[in-house]
Amino acid sequence: MKKNKLFDIYFLSLTILLFFLLTTSCNRKPKLIKISGNTMGTTYKILIVSKDKKINKIKLKKNIDDLLNKVNMEMSTYIKDSEISRFNSSSTTEWFPVSEGFAKVVKNSIDISKKSNGSFDVTISPLIDLWGFGKRSGERIPNKTEIDQISQYTGYKNLDVKFSPPYIKKKTPKLQINLSAIAKGYGVDKVVEFLNSRNYKNYLVEIGGEVRVGGKKFNKKWRIGVLKPDTIDKYNIIVLLSDISLATSGDYFNYFEKDGRRYSHTIDPVTKRPITHKLASVTVVHKSCMLADGLATAINVMGPDKGYEFALKEGLPIYMIIRKDKGFVIKMTPSFKKLLSES
């Protein structure tokens, strides 16, 4: 009898303890953890919704900074000993060893180039410099001879990639690449991959305006804004998203004017000159932030008409802001309208 009584007391105590732990866990309110910093010549922001009180924010930020520094060491043209800088300075046409992430970004860049008939091309780095939007900054308009001469060393068809192990190769010794139109999106995806590996389900990751969200923010979808042209803190539209990416390409700020003409920083790889159409910005929604980033640039180069038709063909939700004589007009695909209706 005594044994049974002791057992009953033990069982009752254990039940009470388990009940206390479960109710405490269930009643624990989720908190919003904020992490921010600098990377890739811009800023990043991460929001995580979690009930875990043991999150070491300092250690988490260090892990993220280390990850983004690794991406920078692969793809930053402003770091002399980065993989991309060493590839660009090399004149070899043999296979050049790179990291798997670097090869992945190059492979996806080539795929977007093929899909867009060359509207996206990571080999136009020398043309970007020539027009004064790269390392060689300054408001200048190159002549046709300069453009033709530089163009000999561009073209995505002169770039190749393979895996196992990862290599890339240039077919002309002077070929150079610039991944700035896709690397930020890749960086966002890498941070998301890291957060998922740590079992974080609800988060927002943003680098330089390219965004990917997972789960929800306090049981509601994440509110993501698309900036109004020529502003830094006013939104043209707010869309509610979950488990998806959003990237925007435009020439809000990076341009110069000369003799009454506007020269955008976005160079058309086909014409070898800055775009001249009226598309102020295009926002693309895609599962992959890397692809959303690259596709937004491709559509921005194509312009409001060709870009829209391309998006319809590819089934892409896109949102366009187009310049008119007086203000702006909006153009969006049915799939983007569906996102708004769901919001």
Mean pLDDT check: name the lowest of 164-178, 183-197, 231-245. 231-245
The pLDDT-based confidence of 331 (bands split at 50, 70, 90) is: very high
**CA 231 → CA 34, 54, 106, 125, distances in Å?**
24, 39, 32, 27
Domains of the chain in start order, with CATH, are 34-55+202-342 (3.10.520.10)
pLDDT score of 9 more than 50: no
Beta strands in the chain (DSSP E): 31-39, 42-50, 96-97, 159-162, 167-170, 202-207, 210-214, 222-227, 235-241, 244-250, 255-258, 261-264, 267-268, 273-274, 279-286, 318-323, 328-332
pLDDT at 2 over 70: no
Average pLDDT over residues 180-205: 97
169 beta partners: 160
146-160 average pLDDT score? 95
The confidence band for 253, taking pLDDT boundaries of 50, 70 and 90, is low
What is the overall mean pLDDT for the chain?
89
Residue 340's pLDDT is 87
Residue 223's SS3 state is strand
Predicted TM-score (pTM) above 0.85: yes
What is the tens place of the pLDDT at every residue in 107-128?
999 999 999 999 999 999 899 8
Question: Which of 21-25, 74-78, 191-195, 255-259 has the weakest average pLDDT?
Answer: 21-25
pLDDT tens for each residue of 16-31: 555 544 554 455 788 9
Q: Among 27-31, 257-261, 305-309, which stretch is predicted with the lowest mean pLDDT?
A: 257-261
